[in-house]
Each structure stands twice: as C-alpha cells, then as structure tokens.
Amino acid sequence: MSGPVLPRRGFLAGAAGIAAALTLAACGEGGGTEAAPASSTGASGAPSAQGWTFTDDRGKKIDLPKVPTRIVAQVGAAAALWDFGVRPVGVFGPHKLADGGKDPQVGNVDITKVTGLGNVWDEFNVEQYIALQPDLLVSSMYVKGTLWYVPEKSKDTIEQVAPTVGVMLTGKSATEVIGTYERLAQSLGADMAGVPEAKARMEAATKKLADFKDLRVLMVSGGADAFWVVNPPEYPDIVHLTNAGLNVVKPDKVDEGGFFQTLSWENADTYDADVILYDTRTQALKPEEMMKKPTFAKLPAVKAGQLYPWAAEAPFSYHGYADFLEDLVENLAKAKPLK
C-alpha cells in the first residue's frame, strides 16, 4: 500500500502511509468557489466578539481577523465540509480517477470547481497552493499533529502560507468527528442546508444496525501481496458500527500503530465471519481480484455470497453517513449467520 488506506493510502493510503506518518510523529509533532462568510463563531459555535477563532484537535487555537473564505482541504475534509455547505477553493489527496471521473473519497465535491493540488500520496503543488491565496487549510489526522496528505518535505512551507486546522480521526467515533466538522462549518458561515434531514436519516439507519448483532462481521482491505484485517477501535466508522451493536471481528494481533493486522493471502482464513465487508477505495483490490486468491475464495462468507462493499472513506457528514449506513443496512438484511 502506499499512503494510508484505512486511514488510509493503501489501507490508510496504504499501510506504508500510516507507517510513514507514525515514523514522522515519533520524530516530533508537526504541527473553486469561496465559502460564503457569515457571523464569526468560536470553536463552541458561539458568536465571537470579532474576527474568527477555532480550536482544533491538536489543541491549537487559530485566531483570525475575519472569517476564512478561501479554504483548501484534504479530500476527506473537503467532502465533509462540502456537505455542510462550505465550498473549498482547492483540494489535495485522491479526487480524480485515471479516466477523469471523481474518486469516491471526494464525496459530493464538484471537482470542476476546485483546484487540485495533488492526487496521490506525497503530492502537493506548493506553488499552486500559494497562488490560491488560501485563508485556511483543513485536514484530518490519524496521528495527532500529522495532517493527512500534507507532505513532510513541504509541511513547514505549507503551514507558513495559511493557518491549518487538524481534525482527529483515530480513537474517535464517527459522531464525534462529524460533530467537529459541523462546528467548523458553522464557524465558517455554512448554510447547513439539508443537515437536519440527513442527521435524521443517519440516526434511523444507525438504530437498525442492532438488528444484525448476531452476525460476525469482518472488515478488510486487499492488496496485491497482503490482506489487511482492520482493528475496530482505531476507525471512526467502525467505532460507530460497534457502538450501535454490530459485532465486528477484532484481530488478535495488530501491526505497529494498531490500525490493522497484515496477513498473507495464504492466511486470509485466520478469522471466521458470517459477513465480510471489503474496502471499496480505488487503491484496494476489487472482489473479483480477491476471489482469485484460493484461501479467500474458500471463506464461508464468500462462498455464501455474503461479501459486501464497505465505503471506507465515507465523508464525515450526516449526508455521507446516512448514505453509507443505509447501504450497509440494506446489505446486512440479506445475510444470515453461518454457524
């Protein structure tokens, strides 16, 4: 894998991405159309006396004389903010497929109306970023202090151009992360159109997950030479699922960093499950490719046809999670315990 995939660039863009992020963190913490301005608010959502202030998940307080309107965001952050009504001027991270279509990770963002600064791990066009004259950069974090998809080699320069906001994912529930993006969007003057309805849909789908508590669910991602089993506590989406009553299999051992266990394809049958949810991101193997691995093809859940997609990078918004959970509920309703 290449930049983290479950968090992600191969699994986190790949396992390599997470490993790199962890290594960098050990060395020391590192630090379109415009969003419509509105009344300034602080991190709590309460109006501030003047200017704009927000405290992010690094504990870093940003104070600006006016509400930022020219926002650049990592694609996951951009997708979340877009659903709340914030329109970034630039994005970085996987947003465009080889055929020119949208990468699923960018959600509802209209990529024809934003400037792409980089599409793969370790790619960020600093010159273009400066030319955008950004007021703010927003990115998620899997490791505290390390902004997702902000290259270490240019991090210092990037952070000098505009203030940055980091939103922590690891160890949080999806509702917590969504809440942070909601507060940030409110502070930026977003109109929040459709948010109450989407929140109601998300809550309704969440309640239905308890109906499937008897199913053992394995969540995985496939690479050319490795099979990754995710560790539920490290992922906001999986924490949400387990909190709602879903029985997600937890690996007995995890790799350094705690995000997942790496197995060879020969050992893909290490864990029993009634249902397998597979990573649908561009970097991960498709089901037909995984089925070519004999050990995987023989798994009871695979043979029973209880192999379903997992939107591993669903936008952290009520819209994003309503869609993700409704699809998941529909698929789980087809499954049954195999033992």
Amino acid 7: pLDDT: 39
Write the Ramachandran bin of 240: left for phi over 0, alpha for psi from -120 to 50, otherwise beta: alpha
Give me 283's structure tokens: 């970097």
Cβ atoms 68, 89 nearer than 8 A:
no
Q: What pTM does this model have?
A: 0.85
Rounded Cα distance between 35 and 188, Å, is 7
- Give 90-93's long-range contacts (Cβ < 8 A, gap of 24+): 90/32, 90/114, 90/115, 90/116, 90/117, 90/128, 90/129, 90/132, 90/134, 91/115, 91/116, 91/117, 92/116, 92/117, 92/118, 92/123, 92/124, 92/149, 92/150, 93/118, 93/119, 93/148, 93/149
Strand pairing partners for 64? 52
* Phi, psi (degrees; rounded to nearest 5) at 254: -130, 155
Per-residue HEC secondary structure of the chain comes to CCECECCCECCECCHHHHHHHHHHHHHCCCCCCCCCCCCCECCCCCECCCCEEEECCCCCEEEECCCCCCEEEEHHHHHHHHHHCCCCCEEECCCECCCCCECHHHCCCCHHHCEECCCCCCCCCHHHHHHCCCCEEEEEEEECCEECCCCHHHHHHHHHHCCEEEEECCCCCHHHHHHHHHHHHHHCCCCCCCHHHHHHHHHHHHHHHHHHCCCEEEEEEECCCCEEEECHHHCHHHHHHHHCCCEECCCCCCCCCCCEEEECHHHCCCCCCCEEEEECCCCCCCHHHHCCCHHHHCCHHHHCCCEEEECCCCCCCHHHHHHHHHHHHHHHCCCCCCC
Q: Work out the angle at residue 207's Cα, subtended by the Cα atoms of residues 205 and 212, and round it to the nearest 5 degrees.
A: 90
Amino acid 195: pLDDT: 96
Amino acid 49: pLDDT: 52
Rounded Cα distance between 85 and 195, Å, is 9
pLDDT tens series, the chain, 339 aa:
333 343 344 455 544 344 443 333 333 333 344 443 333 344 444 444 579 999 999 999 999 999 999 999 999 999 999 999 999 999 999 999 989 899 989 999 999 999 999 999 999 999 999 999 999 999 999 998 999 999 999 999 999 999 999 999 998 999 999 999 999 999 999 999 999 999 999 999 999 999 999 999 999 999 999 999 999 988 999 999 999 999 999 999 998 878 899 999 999 999 999 999 999 988 899 999 999 999 999 999 999 999 999 998 899 999 999 999 999 999 999 999 997
Per-residue HEC secondary structure of 72-108 comes to EEEHHHHHHHHHHCCCCCEEECCCECCCCCECHHHCC
